[in-house]
Amino acid sequence: MSTERSVHRLRLALGVLIALVVALVAGILARANNTTVPGAILYGLGAFGGATSLALAVLESLERP
C-alpha cells in the first residue's frame, strides 16, 4: 500500500472520529435539554452528517497544494 493511500485513509478516519465526537456532544446536550431519547438521537445523527461533510471537506482541501 502506498504512503499516499495510507495518509488518505488516516484523514478519512480522523474526519469520522471528529464527527463522532460532535454527534455525541450534540446528543448529550439535546438530552440535557429534556429532549426525548429518540429526539436526542436524531439531533446527534444530524450533527454527525453535517460534521462529517465539513470535516472531510476541510481535510481533503488540506491535501491539495
Distances (CA, A) of 18 to 2, 12, 34, 48: 25, 10, 25, 9
Half-sphere exposure of 23 (CA within 13 A, CB side): 19
pLDDT of residue 29: 96
Per the structure, the count of domains in the chain is 1
pLDDT of residue 8: 86
The Cα–Cα gap between 64 and 30 comes to: 37
pTM: 0.85
Kindly report, residue by residue over 4-60, the tens digit of the pLDDT: 888 888 889 999 999 999 999 999 999 999 999 999 999 999 999 999 999 989 988
Residue found by looking up cell 465526537 in the block: 21
CA–centroid distance for 16 within its chain: 5
Q: Domain residues for 47?
A: 3-63
